[in-house]
Copies of this chain bind each other. A is one copy, B any other.
Amino acid sequence: MKILFIGDIFGEIGRKMVATYLPLVKEKYQVDVVFANGENTTHGKGLIKKHYEELLNDGIALITMGNHTYSKREIFDYIDEASHLIVPLNRPKALPGVGSRVIVCGDKRIRVTNLLGLTFMDPKSANPFEVIEPLLEEDTSDIHIIDFHGETTSDKAAFGYFVDGRVTAVVGTHTHVPTADEHILPKGTAFQSDIGMTGPYVSVIGCQAETIIERNLKGIMTPFALAKGEGQFLATLLTIDESTNQCTHIERIQIDPQHPFK
């Protein structure tokens, strides 16, 4: 079984990259099911209902989120009915949403969980290392993929080893840069610190470089400006051995001007 996880879909360019390349990637790699992080889908922050539905129509089975889950307030209107949406399990209790979902794919029950990182993220959220424990104890799915949406490599690696052998894969999101550390941990869990972003290629994590440079030079907010131009499609492909439900191979999929799709 092949599972594809697409990294943070960012704005219109991100959505177009999904529409264009997801069909090609699915066919090339014989992908069975697709998940994606959608926290940046609508104009770089959040996810409105129209785009949520667009991503589902594109063939994404479940959408995870992150620190930008509630950036577009429209989400409060449709989140209770959004049965394919997963928001951080360790979000503040006062916020709506579901943090872990199971879907059926062939004869496998696949769980996807979303967690917000610990360090430099949001102190209002609960500790992901605490929150995951009861879920792991009660989980009866065949395959369990965790999107760990975090800033630091230390958090991500520590979390990977923490659940190593207890989940199928931990893939990181949030930094918008793909890491080249995809591998299988000692007890069998597939791991990658960050999948990277699907969105504008010449950009600072999706935004126009000039605006971020100005913020860094002046210490003041500048208008939020999405980058334009060519796009990139970043995802991670997990190959599952259906006899053991273990991931036997984890592979970066990188499509951008430097790595054209072949």
Contact = CB atoms under 8 A, between A and B. Distances in A.
Contact of A254 (B153, B180, B204, B216): B180
Contact of A178 (B181, B196, B254): B181
A162 B204 CA distance: 11
Interface string A112-143: 00000011111111110110000000000000
A183 interface: yes
A119 B92 CA distance: 14
Taking residues whose C-beta sits less than 8 angstroms from the other chain, chain A's interface range is 35 or more
A205 B154 contact: yes
Interface in A5-37: none
A262 interface: no
B204 A161 contact: yes
Contacts of A151: 120, 151-152
A91 interface: yes
A61 interface: no
Tell which of A92, A95, A159 has the most Cβ of chain B within 10 Å: A92
Interface of chain A, main secondary structure = loop
Contacts of A154: 204-205, 212
Contacts of A218: 70, 92, 94-95, 124
A50 interface: no
Contacts of A161: 204, 209, 213
- How many copies of the chain does the oligomer comprise? 4
Contacts of A121: 123
B181 A177 contact: yes
A205 B130 contact: no
A234 B181 CA distance: 11
A110 to B, nearest CB: 25
A177 B205 contact: no
A124 B124 contact: no
Given A152-B175, A153-B205, A220-B70, A123 B119 contact: yes
B175 A153 contact: yes
A179 interface: yes
Given A123-B121, A204-B161, A196 B217 contact: no
Given A92-B127, A124-B215, A130-B217, 7 more contacts: A122-B123, A151-B151, A157-B209, A177-B181, A178-B181, A179-B180, A186-B202
